C-alpha cells in the first residue's frame, strides 16, 4: 500500500510517522544482507505525491540488499534516552521506481526543498507499507503503543509503569 493509502487506512500513525520524520529529516533502514544477517543504514526519506520514497546512492549496499530481497523496515531516528519524543516504524517492501516522470519530479522536488539534485544513476524505491508501529513513554513511565497492519484497524494501548515494570 502506498503512502496515500496508508494515511487513509491509519491516519493517526501516518501523522505520527510524518511528525517524527519532519523533526530530524532522517530515518534508519533495516535490510537483509546476502548472507541473511541484518544491516541497518541511515537514509533520507521523502513523502512525495502518493509515495514514501527511499533514495539511495547507486550500487550502495542497502540498495543491493533491496534489489535482492525487498523486505525492509524504516524507523525514525531516536535522539533521547527516555523515549518521550516517540519512535515510529514502517515495515514493508521496497518497490523500484522505474517511472521516469516520477523520478524526474522527485529529483526536482528534492532540489526545490534542499538545493541538491540527485543525478542518474541512483536508486529510488517507494515503500509498499504492510504494517506500522509507534511507541512513546510519558514522564511517569507509562508506554503508549499504537499499531496497524494492512487490512486491520489502528490499535492503541497504554502499558502502565508500576515503578518496576510495565503492565498491560
- Enumerate residues 6+ apart whose C-beta is below 8 A from 7: 14, 15
CATH number at residue 101: 2.30.110.10
- One-letter-per-residue 3-state SS of 50-88: CEEEEEEECCCHHHHHHHHCCEEEEEECCCCCCCCCCEE
Task: Give the model's pLDDT for residue 79.
Answer: 87
Residue 123 pLDDT more than 90?
yes
Parent domain of 76:
3-167
Instruction: Tell me if residue 10 falls in helix, strand or coil.
Output: coil
**pTM for the full model?**
0.94
Q: Into how many domains does the chain fold? A: 1
Name the percent of the chain lying above pLDDT 90.
94
Task: Give the model's pLDDT for residue 155.
Answer: 98
pLDDT tens string 74-107: 999 988 888 899 999 999 999 999 999 999 999 9
pLDDT tens string 35-83: 999 999 999 899 999 999 999 999 999 999 999 999 999 999 988 888 8
Task: Give the model's pLDDT for residue 25.
Answer: 85
Helix (H) or strand (E) holding 158: strand 155-161
Amino acid at each position: 500500500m502506498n503512502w496515500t493509502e496508508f494515511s487513509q487506512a491509519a491516519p493517526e500513525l501516518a501523522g505520527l510517522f510524518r511528525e517524527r520524520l519532519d523533526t530530524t529529516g532522517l530515518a534508519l533502514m533495516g535490510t537483509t544482507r546476502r548472507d541473511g544477517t541484518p544491516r541497518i543504514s541511515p537514509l533520507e526519506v521523502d513523502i512525495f505525491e502518493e509515495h514514501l520514497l527511499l533514495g539511495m546512492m547507486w550500487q550502495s549496499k542497502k540498495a543491493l540488499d533491496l534489489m535482492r530481497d525487498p523486505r525492509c523496515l524504516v524507523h525514525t531516528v531516536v535522539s533521547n534516552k527516555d523515549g518521550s519524543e516517540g519512535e515510529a516504524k514502517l515495515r514493508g517492501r521496497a518497490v523500484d521506481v522505474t517511472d521516469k516522470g516520477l523520478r524526474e519530479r522527485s529529483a526536482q522536488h528534492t532540489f526545490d526543498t534542499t538545493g541538491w539534485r540527485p543525478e542518474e544513476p541512483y536508486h529510488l524505491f517507494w515503500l509498499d507499507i504492510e504494517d506500522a508501529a509507534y511507541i512513546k513513554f510519558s514522564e511517569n513511565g507509562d508506554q503508549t503503543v499504537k499499531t496497524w497492519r494492512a487490512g486491520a484497524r489502528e490499535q492503541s494501548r497504554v502499558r502502565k509503569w508500576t515503578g518496576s515494570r510495565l503492565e498491560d
